[in-house]
């Protein structure tokens, strides 16, 4: 068994967990800054971060 874990797994898990938390925050709260013109930036960045995290997990899965 390999002593070192592939970094794609760690990055993928961290980004996916953080992305889901930001996504949930974006779903629960409403945008408060008027400069954003009603755009929920937490929701957008939650989706982007989750997609990047899942991408890293898929790369790790292909490697194994």
Please report, for residues 1, 7, 37, 46, the alpha-carbon distance to residue 26 in angstroms, rounded to integers and kept in the order given: 41, 28, 15, 7
> Would you say residue 1 lies in a domain?
no
pLDDT of 33 reads 65
Reported as a single tens digit per residue, the pLDDT across 26-63 is 899 877 766 677 788 889 999 999 999 999 999 998 87
Tell me the pTM. 0.82
> Would you say residue 14 lies in a domain?
yes
Q: Which long-range contacts (CB under 8 A, 24 or more apart) does 17-20 make?
A: 17/53, 18/49, 18/53, 19/46, 19/47, 19/48, 19/49, 19/50, 19/51, 19/52, 19/53, 20/46, 20/50
Overall domain count for the chain? 1
> Would you say residue 2 lies in a domain?
no
> Would you say residue 24 lies in a domain?
yes
Quick check: 3 pLDDT over 80? Answer: no
> Would you say residue 42 lies in a domain?
yes
Domain containing 35: what range?
7-63
Quick check: 1 pLDDT over 60? Answer: no
């Amino acid at each position: 068994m390999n002593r070192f874990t592939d970094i794609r797994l760690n990055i993928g898990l961290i980004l996916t967990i953080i992305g889901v938390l930001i996504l949930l925050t974006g779903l629960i709260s409403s945008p408060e800054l008027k400069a954003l013109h009603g755009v929920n930036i937490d929701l957008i960045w939650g989706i982007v971060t989750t997609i990047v995290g899942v991408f890293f997990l898929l790369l790790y899965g292909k490697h194994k």
